Structure 1
Amino acid sequence: MSMVQIGIIGVVGALLAVQFKSGKSEYGIYISVVLSLFIFFCIITRLNIIVDMMRTIGSYINMDTAYIGTLIKMLGITYVAEFSSGICKDAGYQTIAVQIEIFGKLAVLVLSMPVLMALLETIKEFLS
């Protein structure tokens, strides 16, 4: 699906959810969750392109494949955290949304530690 199609589906879904929020607010939340899941699955279909390009870049620069895997995991954590946080915000649970965002940031920080240590080791070797 193209960006225009996803944009149109998003706007129509949002208008439909707003329409239902005035009468039965839970239907508006259900519509937004289903719409978000639909867009999420459309994004997953495009993820193969990103993974293939990351592998190609990794082969060009002769880099350890573990770093590419780590970058993909970071991308996934970031997207899932934003996705679930947005749903919680739409449902009116801002406190839970903020906690999900904090957990996502900490998870990315934990994943980045081995990459940071490898970078520091490389700098240390250059300075020695």
Structure 2
Amino acid sequence: MEIIQIVGLGLITTVLVLIIKEQKPMFAFLLTAFTGIAIFLFLIGKISTIIDVLEELANKANINMIFLKTILKIIGIAYIAEFGAQIIRDAGQESVATKIELAGKILIMVMAIPIVSVIIEAVVKLLPA
């Protein structure tokens, strides 16, 4: 199972980081960052499979693909912002990590405006005049 490989990689990295951290903290951070990136790259294939299934379901349900793509972009922004913030936190830069999270939230709001507008228009049409 893939999760065993990922957890194994994480455990090995953790042990190495604990050993290296006292002599070479920069190498420990780089090892942590590269491990996170390796795990992310390992999962990209799984992510593309999920996107393909969601696109197929959206086509069957006659959902406008613009909405699906926007939602997928929003999810991507959330994951990438969280991933980046965690790496920055590992480096001890809490304030920068917080700014990355704020930027992610603002970008999500910007991306969500068209969807929110369509929902509000649909609700207004349903209300009696």
Amino acid at match of 1:39: I
Partner of 1:24: 24
| Identity percentage of aligned residues | 27
- Distance (whole Å) between structure 1 residues aligned to residue 85 and residue 14 of structure 2: 17
Unaligned runs of 5+ in 2: none
- Distance (whole Å) between structure 2 residues aligned to residue 91 and residue 108 of structure 1: 25
Partner of 2:37: 37
Describe the superposition over 1:62-113 as per-residue Cα deviations: whole angstroms up to 9, x where unpaired: 1110011011111111111111101110001110000000110111111111
| Equivalent residue pairs, number | 128
Amino acid at match of 2:121: E
Aligned-pair Cα RMSD in Å = 1.2
- Distance (whole Å) between structure 2 residues aligned to residue 55 and residue 84 of structure 1: 27
Distance apart, 1:42 and its partner CA? 1.0
1:74 and 2:74 aligned: yes
Determine helix, strand or coil for the equivalent of 1:119: helix
Amino acid at match of 1:27: F
- Distance (whole Å) between structure 2 residues aligned to residue 71 and residue 15 of structure 1: 38
Determine helix, strand or coil for the equivalent of 1:47: helix
Partner of 2:126: 126
Determine helix, strand or coil for the equivalent of 1:121: helix
What is the TM-score with the length of structure 2 in the denominator?
0.94
Partner of 1:8: 8
Distance apart, 1:61 and its partner CA? 2.1
Determine helix, strand or coil for the equivalent of 1:14: helix
